[in-house]
């Protein structure tokens, strides 16, 4: 009886080079976050910090948590969850901005 090992040997997910590149990108974005925190941009400090944090979270979720390789239905549910979270965070910012 033969045993099919092609399925067992198939890689699921990115290569080590891609993972290393994403990790380096996360390090660069962390340096950008620290650098922007030292610059007074007024209201834009929060916007830039949230944009960088969103980019970092997207990289982690897509690559390290393998969402990039999942079914489109599962991707849609995750996207919907993050959209609802963004709405809640946005309402919090509006509440604190107009007090």
* Residue 10 in domain: no
Residues 54 and 22 in one domain: yes
In a domain, 38, yes or no: yes
Q: What is the pLDDT of residues 27-54, one digit of tens each?
A: 999 999 999 989 998 878 888 888 999 8
Let me know if residue 9 belongs to a domain. no
Considering the domain architecture, whether residues 21 and 60 belong to the same structural domain is answered as yes
**Residue 57 domain-assigned (yes or no):** yes
Q: Mean pLDDT in the chain?
A: 84
Residues 55 and 27 in one domain: yes
pLDDT at position 33, please?
92
Cα separation, 47 vs 10, whole angstroms = 41
Total domain count, the chain: 2
- Predicted confidence at residue 52, as pLDDT, reads 93
Is residue 1 in some structural domain?
A: no
- Angstrom distance (rounded) from CA 23 to CA 63: 10
Question: Which phi and psi (to 5°) does residue 60 adopt?
Answer: -65, -45
2 pLDDT above the threshold of 70? no
Structural domain harbouring 81: 66-99
């Amino acid at each position: 009886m033969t045993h099919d090992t092609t399925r067992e040997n198939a890689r699921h997910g990115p290569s080590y080079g891609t993972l290393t590149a994403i990790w380096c990108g996360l390090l660069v974005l962390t340096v950008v976050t620290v650098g922007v925190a030292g610059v007074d941009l007024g209201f834009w400090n929060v916007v830039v910090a949230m944009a960088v944090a969103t980019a970092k979270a997207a990289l982690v979720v897509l690559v390290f948590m393998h969402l990039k390789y999942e079914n489109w239905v599962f991707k849609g549910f995750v996207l919907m969850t993050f959209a609802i979270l963004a709405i809640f965070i946005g309402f919090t910012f509006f509440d604190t901005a107009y007090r």
